Chains A and B, each alone.
Chain A
Amino acid sequence: DSGVTQTPKHLITATGQRVTLRCSPRSGDLSVYWYQQSLDQGLQFLIQYYNGEERAKGNILERFSAQQFPDLHSELNLSSLELGDSALYFCASSVLTGDLTEQFFGPGTRLTVL
């Protein structure tokens, strides 16, 4: 157990809908990252927040948005969903260990768009 929690575990919805995925980082971790894992694209970085502020952006679609709240939990909002958005969405949080930053991944949310 990494200490990162994600809800819900599974989500089934229809095209055109909007969903919100939630992540709680490990206690004390200020950085939160979101990744998408699909069979064709592999694991792709979406976005990073650090202490409430956006720190880095990856291949995140304009239909997707995220935020990190004062209690450090984060939400990933996916709107106008398409079949191709079906994937595993992982949240990770990080701590600095020596000079290496270790990212701890949550168990993921499996999104199925029908």
Chain B
Amino acid sequence: QQQVKQSPQSLIVQKGGIPIINCAYENTAFDYFPWYQQFPGKGPALLIAIRPDVSEKKEGRFTISFNKSAKQFSLHIMDSQPGDSATYFCAASETQGGSEKLVFGKGTKLTVNP
């Protein structure tokens, strides 16, 4: 059972475009929603994260939009650059008792063309 569903699987945009990656979850006990960026041959790196009591969070060109009632959240990348080409993973966790067991989506391979 896939607890976090991510779409699309791949995405190609032109430089300056605004790619949007969507995730949906089922477990209402999830209370932490991070996005990770992974370049080939590297480990995932935290990009931005949100708690469900906030509907939007911006950090630089990256924005998370969160819809608690729909159990959906998305990542928007403003003014995308070729250097943003990477695989993006959404994740969720239930942070009770000090455990942050992350459940990851399957990933979205983003290509930003010059």
Interface bracket on A: 20 to 34
What are 16 A-to-B residue pairs whose CB atoms are below 8 Å? A2-B43, A43-B102, A43-B104, A45-B102, A48-B100, A55-B97, A56-B100, A94-B100, A100-B49, A100-B51, A101-B95, A105-B36, A105-B43, A107-B41, A107-B42, A108-B43
Please, which residues of chain B bring their CB within 8 A of the CB of A43? 44, 89, 102, 104, 107
A90 near B104 (CB under 8 angstroms)? no
In angstroms, Cα B4 to Cα A45, docked, is 13
User: Using an 8 Å CB-CB cutoff, how does the interface string of B12-31 with A read, 1 for contact, 0 for none?
Assistant: 00000000000000000000
A44 in the interface (beta carbon within 8 A): yes
In angstroms, Cα B38 to Cα A106, docked, is 12
A58 near B101 (CB under 8 angstroms)? yes
Q: Which A-chain residue is minimally distant from B49 (CB atoms)?
A: A100
A71 in the interface (beta carbon within 8 A): no
- A8-58 interface (Cβ within 8 A of B): 31, 33, 35, 42-45, 48, 50, 55-56, 58
User: Using an 8 Å CB-CB cutoff, how does the interface string of B39-50 with A read, 1 for contact, 0 for none?
Assistant: 001111110010
A42/B100 contact (C-beta < 8 A), A2-B45, A105-B44 known: no
A45 near B32 (CB under 8 angstroms)? no
A62 in the interface (beta carbon within 8 A): no
Classify the secondary structure of B's interface with A. Answer: loop
Please, which residues of chain B bring their CB within 8 A of the CB of A58? 101
A101 near B104 (CB under 8 angstroms)? no
**CB-based closest 3 A-B pairs:** A105-B43, A56-B99, A43-B104
Q: Which A-chain residue is minimally distant from B100 (CB atoms)?
A: A101
Please, which residues of chain A bring their CB within 8 A of the CB of B32? 100-101
B76 in the interface (beta carbon within 8 A): no
In angstroms, Cα B41 to Cα A101, docked, is 24
Q: Which B-chain residue is minimally distant from A107 (CB atoms)?
A: B43
Q: Which B-chain residue is minimally distant from A44 (CB atoms)?
A: B104
B114 in the interface (beta carbon within 8 A): no
User: Using an 8 Å CB-CB cutoff, how does the interface string of A92-114 with B read, 1 for contact, 0 for none?
Assistant: 10100001111111111000000
**Nearest CB of chain A from residue B53's CB, rounded to whole Å:** 10
Interface centre among B42, B49, B102 (most CB of A within 10 A): B102
